[in-house]
Amino acid sequence: MKEKDETREALEGLKVVDFGWAIAAPVICWYLATHGATVVRVETSTRPDVYRVSAPYKDNKPGLNRAGFFAYPNVNKLSIALNMNLPQGIELARKLVAWADVVVDNFRVGPMEKWGLGYEDLKKVKPEIIMVRTTNQGLTGPHNTHPGWGWQLVGLSGISNLAGWPDREPLSFGMPYTDVIAPRFGVVALMAALVHRKKTGKGQLIDLSQLETALQFISPAMLNYFANQDNDKRTGNTSTYAAPHGVYRCKGEDRWCAITILSEREWKDFCNAIGRPQLSEDRKFETLSDRKKNEEELNQIVEAWTVQFAPEEVADRMQAARVPCGIVQNAQDVFSDEQLRQRNYFWTLDHTEMGPYAHMGQPFGLSETPAKPRMPAPCLGEHNEYVCTKLLGMTDEEFLDLLTLGLFE
Amino acid sequence: MLKEFNVLDLTTEAGWLCGKMLGDLGADVIKIEPPGGDPGRQHGPYYKKTKDPERSLFWFALNANKRGITLNIESREGRDLLTKLVQETDCIVESFAPGALEKLHLDYTSLKKINPGVILTSISSFGQEGPRKDWKASDLVCMAMGGFLHLCGAPDRAPVGVSLPHGYFFAGADAAVGTMIAYYHREQTGVGQWVDVSIQQSVAMTCFNSVPWWQLQKVIQGRMGAFRKIGLFGGLVLRQTWPCKNGFVIFILTAGAFGARTNQLLTEWMDSEGMAPEFMKKMDWKTLDAKNMAPDFVKAFDEYVMKFFLSHTKEELYEGAVRKGMQLYPVYDCAALAESPQLRARDAWQPVEHPELGITMTYPGAWVKMSEAGCQTRRRAPLIGEHNLEVYHEGLGLPLEEVERLKQSGVI
């Protein structure tokens, strides 16, 4: 057994080329970069990542290196700007492939093939390469080239239909929801492929359909359809096995709390905590099925109580009574959340153009190889020279020749 | 792919997806339930709507590809048995309240003494440390605390989320990520570790729009119903969910090169049915940007496009979008997904035998296609204690009489 090594990260030594765009592939590579892999993002200023040209910007001044969405998940990565319209650009991309263990992209079927960077091409450059390709609907099938974003895919995935109020339109969410689902599946598959490669020496192609990963998030509803022919629809914040179970208005502008009573014990505790112990003996609310039957009235009673207090106070009182409750935290609350802060969730690093900027944090901690902030999200092409000379071993002259050619654009 | 990876799954529904994902890739996952079965089996929907712990579709969906044993780990004999199982395993996944394992002397420090390279993956609402570690929570509470719920729903009503426990799914998937990163590291170094997953932190990834907006502009993105705010000051409001003849489609007016092709194709399609107004026909869509997307323009665009969408079904709109290469998706329900030609062509559905029920049930099958090995549903979720003999007798070598005694005494 090796002694605990404070400096080691779990994926140290792993080399990754990130041909990502927007979110899905960049987030796969974010998991890798934050755990110590060397990740090179291949970009171009002729068609910059959509999130480099989307608000919000630092000081509200647009700029490729000032965009908040881009910076948030691209922490710990290197960036090379590469003009893929020049043959030397493609040649350099191939050199990166030869250097790498893993190539990740989320273009729709087409561009990578056009550049001669499809899996079969990569295998010729490096037989043991592992390529992760994530697309909306997979590399094969009649809809494989259909373009789209996670913002829209959530509709196709069945999730929208199962989110929101039953009497209102389905939710389309305030974020491209499938893009926060698929990457997690992608990393699990990739890690399995890396372990497999260590055992057999073989690389492989990973075809990750974001739609198919999203089906795992509605699997109980799919089984209900296939087994019972029940076509589930959204049910608001209710639960079939808990009541009260919902979001309740609190004191203040747009302030809310979530309360979920999961057992009869918690129901009694709740009634005591709001100073109405007799409520738990009320025939209308005694058992779960009573409470489900009279849920509307029940919710009004709960809200008549919660609305008197700020959500923080509601949560504190409920937690003191051992009742599951939380604050509906907005972005400001999340950003200043004491629990997240103490767990070092946000990674504030001094970004080259943006100054101190908090990057997206980890969902989990690793006891022996904690994830480490090493560098802020890169400016476009910030590491052209480093990647060429230090990672690919070019001489300064070779690098300057390519620079003069206009390759790093 | 992962057939040499052995996992003991002690999770509640908050962590089921983790073991399921590992099992899908071939890991041998043993689900350990308390005698009588996992409490999550009490949650529906149920097969043929009959409430029965052996018929929960919720259980089936998230516990396929696992073997199942029963064990009372709170009893001394139960803990001894678990110790034996821990010696043989690579990984333990659990979702008890923080500190509970320590009381049972099954915390990471203790487990490491039994099996030095072991990976312990712990899933909890807020993580193992910090001022809120002991807060009681649920999926909805974690979705609230993680900043997701605040973004969802319409401004005139309370925030509203997903009608499935997606906070648990996010955390379960992240637990699989953390476990696999730890496993990769162990394969290089022999060192195991403790993976500490916080459901709140897993949910917080959904804030990757809202937190940058707050951080840079002090703008709090609220819930917008069918709409979405974009633009330099977050001031432009665009419709995202559109009603059509028989449901909804999702379509977003996108500026510049990113949206030009779709906007042009939509205009031509509308024009071919005499439904495109002059201003849309004259528009050079490549020049559309956040600056000239004035509210008046957006309003007029909405009016005509809405009329067009309302004159078509979601199937017609999607079929046209696919044929033309336009960015638009229908809002599908389970029935529509089941008929999807794309999913069928990809073999996304997989039949799984349920001999006790006398049926073959269709499952969402592989979530990834890997050229070296399959991701698939090899077996249905276990019955309560289904593999007790296999694991305790054949695996650990306990005599049959001993297994029977343990059963009688309520240990298994």
Question: By the CB < 8 Å criterion, does A234 face chain B?
Answer: yes
Q: Give yes or no: residues B319 and B368 share one domain.
A: no
Name the domain boundary from B283, B304, B331. B331
Please say if the pLDDT value at position A3 is more than 80: no
**Residue B34: domain span:** 6-205+346-408
- Lowest-confidence range among B30-34, B222-226, B268-272? B222-226
Q: Would strands B66-70 and B28-33 be described as parallel, antiparallel, or unpaired?
A: parallel
Return the amino acid letter for B164. L
B23 with B156, same domain: the answer is yes
Same domain, B103 and B246: no
Indicate the residue of A60, A234, A368 with minimum beta-carbon distance to B163. A234
Residue B296: the pLDDT is 87
**Is the entire prediction scored with pTM above 0.95?**
yes
Instruction: Please indicate, yes or no, whether residues B237 and B169 belong to a single structural domain of this protein.
Output: no
Percent of chain A beyond pLDDT 70?
A: 98
Residue B172, domain member (yes or no): yes
Q: How far apart are alpha carbons A407 and A400 in whole angstroms?
A: 10
**Beta-carbon contacts below 8 Å between A and B:** 532
One-letter amino acid for residue B156 of the chain: D
- Find the angle CA(B39)-CA(B126)-CA(A370) to the nearest 5 degrees: 120
pLDDT digits (tens, 9 = 90+) for B188-235: 999 999 999 999 999 999 999 999 999 999 999 889 999 988 766 556
Those of residues 29-88 in B touching chain A at CB distance below 8 A are 42-45, 47-49, 57-58, 60-62
B64 located within any domain: yes
pLDDT at A211 over 60: yes
| Structure confidence at residue A2 (pLDDT) | 43
Active-site annotation holds for A269:
no
What is the number of domains present in chain B? 2
CB-based contact (8 Å) between B298 and chain A? Answer: no
> Is residue B67 within 8 Å of B383, Cβ to Cβ?
no
Domain boundary at B302, B331, B360, which? B331
Confidence of residue A269 (pLDDT cuts 50, 70, 90): very high
pLDDT at res. B233? 59
pLDDT surpasses 70 at A302: yes
Q: Which residues of A279-299 are buried (b: 16+ CB within 10 A; e: fewer)?
A: bbeeeebeebeebbebbeebb
Domain co-membership, B247 together with B391: no
Q: Is residue B43 part of a domain?
A: yes
pLDDT attached to residue B234: 59
Indicate which CATH number applies to the domain containing B59.
Answer: 3.40.50.10540
pLDDT averaged over every residue in chain A: 95
Q: Is residue B350 part of a domain?
A: yes
| B316 and B360, same domain (yes or no) | no
Are B237 and B190 part of one and the same domain? no
Residue B165 in domain:
yes
A173 neighbourhood in chain B, CB within 8 Å: 151-152
Q: Hey, what domains does chain A have and what are their CATH numbers?
A: 15-217+343-404 (3.40.50.10540), 245-335 (3.30.1540.10)
Which residues in chain B have Cβ-Cβ distances shorter than 8 Å to A157?
A: 332
In a domain? residue B219: no
For residues B45 and B130, state if they share a domain.
yes
* C-beta of residue B43 within 8 angstroms of C-beta of residue A240: yes
Mark whether B16 and B164 lie in a shared domain.
yes
User: CATH no. for residue B228?
Assistant: 3.30.1540.10
Task: Give me the residues of A, 334-393, that contact B with CB < 8 A.
Answer: 334-335, 337-340, 342-343, 345, 357-358, 360-369
Per residue in B328-368, pLDDT tens? 999 999 999 999 999 999 999 999 999 999 999 999 999 99
> CA-to-CA distance for A88 and A94, rounded, in angstroms?
10
Last residue of a domain, which of B269, B296, B331?
Answer: B331
Cβ contact A174–B223 (<8 Å): yes
Contact residues, chain B, for A366 at CB < 8 Å: 178, 181-182, 193-196
pLDDT digits (tens, 9 = 90+) for B280-292: 999 999 988 877 7
* DSSP three-state, residue B9: strand
Look at residue A161 and give its three-state secondary structure: helix
Is there a domain that residue B85 lies in?
yes
pLDDT at A174 over 90: no
pLDDT given at position B135: 98
Return d(Cα A305, Cα A273) in angstroms, integer: 10
Model confidence pLDDT, tens digit, residues B375-403: 999 999 999 999 999 999 999 999 999 99
User: ∠ at Cα B409 (B408, B412), nearest 5°?
Assistant: 80
Q: What is the pLDDT of residue A110?
A: 87
Q: What CA–CA distance (Å, rounded) separates B116 from B108?
A: 10
List the beta strands (DSSP E) in B319-380.
329-330, 349-354, 359-364, 369-370
User: Are A36 and A9 in contact, with CB atoms under 8 Å apart?
Assistant: yes
Mean pLDDT of B45-52: 96
CA distances from A108 to A69, A143, A146, A172, A368 (A): 21, 11, 8, 22, 38
Q: Are A372 and A72 in contact (CB under 8 A)?
A: no
pLDDT of residue A6: 61
Contact A376, A350 (CB under 8 A): yes
- Facing residue for A162 by CB, picked from B163, B178, B224: B163
Residues B292 and B239 in one domain: yes
Dihedral of CA atoms B119, B123, B127, B128 in degrees, nearest 10, equals: -50
In a domain, residue B216? The reply is: no
Mean predicted confidence (pLDDT) in B163-182? 98
pLDDT at position B16: 98
B266 with B306, same domain?
Answer: yes
Contact at CB, B329 and A222, closer than 8 angstroms: no
Task: Please check whether residue A254 touches B, CB under 8 A.
Answer: yes
- Strands A325-327 and A256-260 come out as antiparallel
- pLDDT average, residue stretch A234-254: 97
Q: B98 with B121, same domain?
A: yes
Interface test with A, best of B20, B236, B331, B380 (most A CBs within 10 A): B331
pLDDT at B352: 97
What is residue B295's predicted lDDT score, i.e. its pLDDT? 83
